[in-house]
Amino acid sequence: MRDYEELSAFLGEWGPFQRLIFFLLSVSIIPNGFNGMSAVFLAGVPEHRCALPPGANLSSAWADASLPREQRGGRDVPSRCRRYRLAELANFSAQGLRPGTDVDLARLPQERCLDGWEYSRDVYHHTIVTQWNLVCDDDWKVPLTTSLFFVGVLIGSFVSGQLSDRFGRKTILFATMAVQTGFSFLQIFSTSWEMFTILFLIVGMGQISNYVVAFVLGTEILGKSVRIIFSTLGVCIFFAIGYMLLPLFAYFIRDWRMLLLALTVPGLFCVPLWWVIPESPRWLITQRRFQEAEVIIRKAAKMNGVTAPDVLFDPVEMQDLNLQQQQTADLFDLFRNQNIATITVMSLLLWMLTSIGYFGLSLSTPNLHGDAYVNCFLSAVIEVPAYVIAWLLLRILPRRYSIAGTLFLGGGVVLFIQLVPTSLHILSVILVMLGKFGITSAFSMLYVYTAELYPTIVRNMAVGATSMSSRVGSIIAPYFVYLGAYDRFLPYILMGSLTVLIGIVTLFLPESYGNPLPENLDQMLKVKCFKTRQRNSNMKNIKEAQENHEIDHPVVIKAVHIHEI
């Protein structure tokens, strides 16, 4: 049977139908942008200190001196989680003693914040941290909240493909939109951290499923030339637009419940798209639903102003399709031999460590000097030129050098942050944004590169496995940010080092640029070290053959060498 490209060629590549699908599917990605990073503000940690009970009999001097001092970020600041024992302070205050003069504060016993905390309202007014006191002994719950969201993303990325293959792209697209919007709305009514986190996990499942299915639906409907722009610029840039909207919403809405409500409302505007966005004709054809596919194709032809053929699906071709047996593969095929196993392990590491760098830098914007809302907005804006550069690099330069170069750029500048004097805060922010630019560019090129490395039989499996590896990286990333509470530079040192390391590893992967897509495992390109080893082995065999007078003509040697290359 003719493939879908040939069957729908009469529609053209960029008519009104394709432009409408391109725009509407890209717009449907916008809510994913602000939901994916919403934890930055929903779980923002304000400055805090131990609260004193209303009936504490302390003078103003003893109230001010009730907190021990500690070193944090190179500064001497009041403790966030400890105070001097209140009974002792009340006794000294009643006796008229002065702190630091009559009493040595360093010798006083300390206690935990038994009466709660006072929170600064300079940056955040009301977050889930202030709602359920997720500080001090419970501060581990903050990164866990974000990690569990990404656990939901991991689960969603695993099931979304199977669900859309079974029930259709359009059905699952709008079902996952409803999950994302509906459970975000339910989060507003959370009565505990546990309830909020479980709902957040489900939101993560809907968030990634919506993204993946919209991506698949667009690539199946749009033509070959538009498909690359859609997957690299359309989807990614509209995700960045949603990311940009997040700090704007959060700046004007400082209460976490109202912020969630504001982030939920845009999802309702996607409901009318159900009557505009069609099902994937490709999927309908694979399900033998030819009549429904023909209706969609004829509507597209009418919208584009072209005449459709009288017969789209020939009965003989439909019978041939019913007889076709599709070749299948399983996960073990990604490790069938030494070469493909090495490529798979390197690809899994590449995706996971790049994901750690991307999400680590995105989630760490509140820890940067300056305004948290401005920093988050800059982190979103920098993604737009990163996606454009990635698209240009994919068109003109080899994949390995493009990805490795952007990883070296991203990781290198992040490593330099520790050398910046504390007085040059702006320079630190610039380096973080430049690092985010490099890592984002590399991240956006991984889908194309991975798809080109693997043969048709395992290509979907490989992209799915490596994508899930990146979800593992996103689950780990919040804990890199959490390390900043102990050492301001430690997250950047770790993320920068790992990014540079994986950039070096990338150079040993095969180069796919300009090569035809492999159709089977034998056609896969060789890892660089394997290729060199094989060439050296062949030359050694030739040399031994010469010594044994089995080969004695230079032309034969040259022919053998050229054939091996």
Q: What is the DSSP string of 310-328?
A: S-SS-HHHHHHHHH-----
| Distance between CA atoms of residues 172 and 180, nearest Å | 12
> Does pLDDT of 520 surpass 70?
no
Q: pLDDT of 289-303, one tens digit each?
A: 878 888 888 888 888
H or E element in which residue 77 lies: strand 75-78
Q: Are residues 154 and 291 in the same domain?
A: yes
Query: Of the candidates 101, 119, 137, which is a domain's last residue?
Result: 119
Does residue 299 belong to any structural domain of this protein? yes
| Mean pLDDT, range 181-201, rounded to an integer | 93
Question: Closest Cα to residue 80, out of 89, 68, 92?
Answer: 68
Is 540 part of a structural domain of the chain? no
495 neighbors 414 (Cβ within 8 angstroms): yes
Lowest-pLDDT range, 193-207, 216-230, 325-339? Answer: 325-339
**What per-residue confidence (pLDDT) applies to 519?**
58
Residue 456: pLDDT band with limits 50, 70, 90? low
- The CATH number covering residue 522 comes to 1.20.1250.20
Give the Cα-Cα-Cα angle 370, 371, 372 (nearest 5 degrees): 115
pLDDT of residue 497: 92
Question: Tens of pLDDT along 342-391?
Answer: 888 898 999 999 999 999 988 888 777 778 888 889 989 999 999 999 88
Determine the average pLDDT of the residues in 244-249: 91
Residue 208's pLDDT band (cuts 50, 70, 90) = confident
Say if residue 69 is in the same domain as residue 93: yes
- Predicted confidence (pLDDT) at residue 329 exceeds the cutoff of 80: no
**Does residue 335 carry a pLDDT above 70?**
yes
Domain identity same for 189 and 266: yes
Q: How far apart are CA 145 and CA 204, in angstroms?
A: 11
Inside any domain, residue 547: no
Is there a domain that residue 550 lies in? no
Which residue matches tokens 């009999």? 57
Select, from the ranges 166-180, 402-416, 540-554, the one with the highest average predicted confidence (pLDDT): 402-416
Query: Mean pLDDT across the chain, nearest whole number?
Result: 81
Report the pLDDT value the prediction gives residue 99, as an integer from 0 to 100: 82
Judgement on whether residues 183 and 201 belong to the same structural domain of the protein: yes
pLDDT, position 9? 72
Last residue of a domain, one of 57, 84, 119: 119
- Residue 438: pLDDT above 90? yes
Give tens-digit pLDDT for 64-120.
888 888 877 667 788 888 888 888 888 888 888 888 777 888 888 888 888 889 998
Within a domain: residue 549? Answer: no
Last residue within a domain, chosen from 258, 281, 316? 316
For residue 317, name the pLDDT band (cuts at 50, 70, 90): low
| pLDDT for position 561 | 37
Determine the pLDDT at residue 558: 34
Q: Which of 215-229, 277-291, 399-413, 506-520 has the highest mean pLDDT?
A: 399-413
C-beta of residue 21 within 8 angstroms of C-beta of residue 234: no
pTM above 0.85, yes or no: no
Q: Does 340 lie in the same domain as 300?
A: no
The answer to whether residues 74 and 173 belong to one domain is no
- pLDDT for the residue numbered 321: 53
Classified as helix, coil or strand, 255 is strand
Average pLDDT over residues 153-182: 83
The reply to whether 259 falls in a domain is yes
| Choice among 346-360, 371-385, 400-414, 517-531 with the minimum mean pLDDT | 517-531
Q: What is the mean pLDDT of residues 133-158?
A: 88
Q: Is residue 323 pLDDT above 50, yes or no?
A: no
The gap between the terminal CA atoms of the chain, to the nearest Å, is: 36
**Nearest partner of 426 among 417, 415, 438, judged by Cα:** 417
Boundaries of domain holding 38: 1-45+128-316
DSSP for 427-487? HHHHHHHHHHHHHHHHHHHHHHHHHHHS-HHHHHHHHHHHHHHHHHHHHHHHHHHHGGGT-
Residue 539 placed within a domain:
no
**Coil vs helix vs strand at 78:** strand
Stronger pLDDT, 550 or 363, i.e. the higher one: 363
Give the other-Cβ count within 10 Å of 320's Cβ. 12
- For the chain, how many structural domains are there in total? 3
One DSSP character per residue, 109-130 reads -EEE-TT-EEE--SS-SB-HHH
In a domain, 263, yes or no: yes
- Looking at the fold, whether 430 and 303 belong to one and the same domain comes out as no
Residue bearing the bigger pLDDT, 521 or 255: 255
- Statement to judge: residues 408 and 478 lie in one domain: yes
- The whole-angstrom separation of Cα 370 and Cα 426 is 8
- Confidence label for 12 from pLDDT (cuts 50, 70 and 90): confident
> Are 354 and 249 part of one and the same domain?
no
Look at residue 462 in the predicted model and tell me its pLDDT: 74
% of the chain surpassing 90 pLDDT? 18
Q: What percent of the chain has pLDDT over 70?
A: 85
The predicted model gives 131-137 an average pLDDT of: 90
What pLDDT, on the 0 to 100 scale, is given for residue 76? 77
Bridge partners, residue 524, by sequence: none
The average pLDDT across 458-483 equals 81
Q: How sure is the predictor about 320, in pLDDT bands with cuts at 50, 70 and 90?
A: low
Q: Would you say residue 281 has pLDDT above 90?
A: no
Comparison of pLDDT for 549 and 287, the residue scoring more: 287
Q: How would you classify the pairing of strands 75-78 and 69-72?
A: antiparallel
Residues 9 and 156 in one domain: yes
If asked whether residues 385 and 505 sit together in one domain, one would say yes
Q: Does residue 463 share a domain with residue 339?
A: yes
Alpha-carbon separation of residue 383 from 241, 433, 437, 474 (angstroms) = 9, 9, 6, 17
Q: What is the pLDDT of residue 551?
A: 41
| Confidence (pLDDT) at 521 | 65
Range of 64-73, 318-327, 431-440 with top mean pLDDT = 431-440
The pLDDT value given to residue 200: 93
